[in-house]
Structure 1
Amino acid sequence: MNDPKKQLREKLETCYAEYHRQWMQLPAAELIQKAEEIAAVQLMAKEAPNQVSAEQAEYLLQFKNPLEVVSDGWLAENGSDVSIIDKELSHVLWRLIDTGDAEVIYETESLEPEKLYFGVFHIQENGNETRFASIGNHDLLYTADQLRRYVQYEDAASTFENLYPNRVEITEHEFDRYVRERLDDSCRVAGAFHIDFDKGEFSGLRIMGGWESFQIKDICSAVSHAMRKEGADTEEQWDRLLDRLRGKEITPNNQYRFLEGERSLRPEEISFSGDIDQNDNLLNFYVETNFNVDEVFGTDVMTAENDDFLNVYADYDLEENCVCDTLTVLLNCANGEQFVYKYQMNAEEQAVMTQKMDAYSMERFGESLSDCRKQYLEEDAQPSQTLSL
């Protein structure tokens, strides 16, 4: 496989050798006049291969003299300052890419330069806010997988933005401009994302549909499901991702009101009845309401004059191997209306819920939750079936 950074290094060395040959033929007075230009060329020849990403290297390789392109860009923005090379070189390249001027000014290897994609991000994490752009095909599938790796600590990064070492900070105005460009389907902006770790929400921009928001945990679960299947190509991974996200969007209509009562659920009050239903990656348990629901949920259904009643459901996530942290509470009114609420369980309630789910699963299925998860993962990871003619 060709290494674009290695190719760039070799091309820069060739270009630098030609520069050096030309300098050797100049009189001393002219060399002095060109001192700043010479310093920039020497700096770029030495540092550019170490500082650029593979995507940035591919961009520079399209030019017949990439050393001229990057040296001119550096001089225009930074002059002879060499102390900020690690921070500013990405910025220089980004400006060249963003404006598209370089392809017009400098000679390229082909008449049709390769398209270069980039993604833009608005990140809120630990009370801090940043916006940046990163070169690469940062579409939903790729970004969701990056997010999953970060959340599950597979990538040792102190903050999400540090997963993108060649990122370039952009302003709010620039971010909005790229969002409009994405909506216009310019083909340059591969993806635009709002990721709010403090709220646990992820938003991606669809060309036709605008912004769509999901819980971060749903994004991570969906992309884990998409990537797991053996033999799945990119198209099938996309299908699996979008299928798992269907119906999980956060909209004003499904922002549930959370119930809160005087006290939490006691261990002895948690029990189940009926079948255990499976919906994709979720096992759904019916929670018996043989306790004072008004005290726990803050409702008013246990008074003598009230004919309303509650149905309560708990879910176990086979993807994440844990109980979902909220209960679904259906308020069934005497007039036939039904309202859906959520109840946030604390850590102790979740622990007891898990233990009792496991015992009830053994009672109903003869299998533990671990057995159910193992079977689910094995079935989900089966390779795609193809027809042989």
Structure 2
Amino acid sequence: MRILHTSDWHLGRTLYGKKRYQEFEAFLNWLAEIIERDEIDTLLVAGDIFDTSAPSNRAQELYYRFLCRVAASDCRHVVVIAGNHDSPSFLNAPKALLKVLDVHVIGNLSENMEEEVLVLNNAQGKPELIVCAVPYLRDRDIRIAEAGESIEDKEQKLLEGIRSHYSAIAAVADQKNNELEVKVPIVGMGHLFTAGGQTIDGDGVRELYVGSLAHVNATIFPDSFDYVALGHLHVPQKVGGFEHIRYCGSPIPMGFGEAKQQKCVCRIQLEHHADYQSTNVPIQQIDVPLFQPLERIKGDWESIEKRILELSLTNSQTWIEIIYDGDEIIGDLRDRLDTVIASTGIEILRVKNARIIDRILGKTQEDETLDDLNVNDVFDRCLAVHGVPDEQRPELLRAYQETLTSLYEQDVRAD
């Protein structure tokens, strides 16, 4: 049983206004070729298929075209779970139709927990794999709010809700496995933030819950899981040092902070339980090609100009972020940069002039945009502008974060 684990495609995502459909299409074509080349039996997609809950027509076209191509290959099954960026109702809408193609979609929790436990058959119609396909667990799915709760109370309820759900799902999977003539491997899926998980500044990974953000640890995943395919974090990594609990990461750099990161998908080889232990699961990271070069150039004017000229000599098509931190105050930085890249294939998507920012301290400078700030930065500035005392800010920030979480989890496609 050959399994491929991928996640966090974020189809439709832009980078400082630049559309990236060609990158997404190139990745999906490459992924389909890997599935065909390596004779993959099951593809697991661990959430955040789209970047927004209302994806564009072009993003949808890429998704469905890919699924049709995989369905026409020798790959027997595709399992897709929703991430925190996805609309559960949108993913679920074609669920019955896609199931005919052996594409199993789990957009949200169901009243019937067994719907998340998929028993997948081989070419002969015999069970070969059980997948516990747990989608992103929204706050309202796993916690009942009560008046007067502290942040710590909410946090504890969230963690316990996640743990209880995985425990219950594993119990259903174990029962189904015990009913089979021959036991088969069990794979868990999830879209969540684990304790100690590595992120990169500017990757767009949202914190999922309020409080200490309910980062779970590896102990929530039952021992019966032979492999755990996770999504949400964009850096490929193991969880808690366990080889078989992994994030495969995003397939393309989501921001300039990921520019030098090697992207990958994970290939897993599973056999029947009779002769092996889950700790010995063969796992291989397959490097994803770089479809669009990105580079962050930081330094004084001489070093920035030198690096751009080096790139231009190679006929580079690189997208660049410039962070100027030289001692000289340069008011016409953008004009200078435009002159240097003229007649080249290089594009500068963002310029941050640190010296101008330092000089006009406390005042938003002309080149600064909302792209330079995260949502908490904007809220902090609002508090400062309105003179809110420091001692009142922590509670207001928590209330603001709760409001954001509620907005993020609202399914705009539900009605």
State TM-score, norm by structure 2. 0.22
Computing the radius of gyration over CA atoms, which structure comes out larger, 1 or 2?
1
* Structure with greater helix percent: 1
State TM-score, norm by structure 1. 0.23
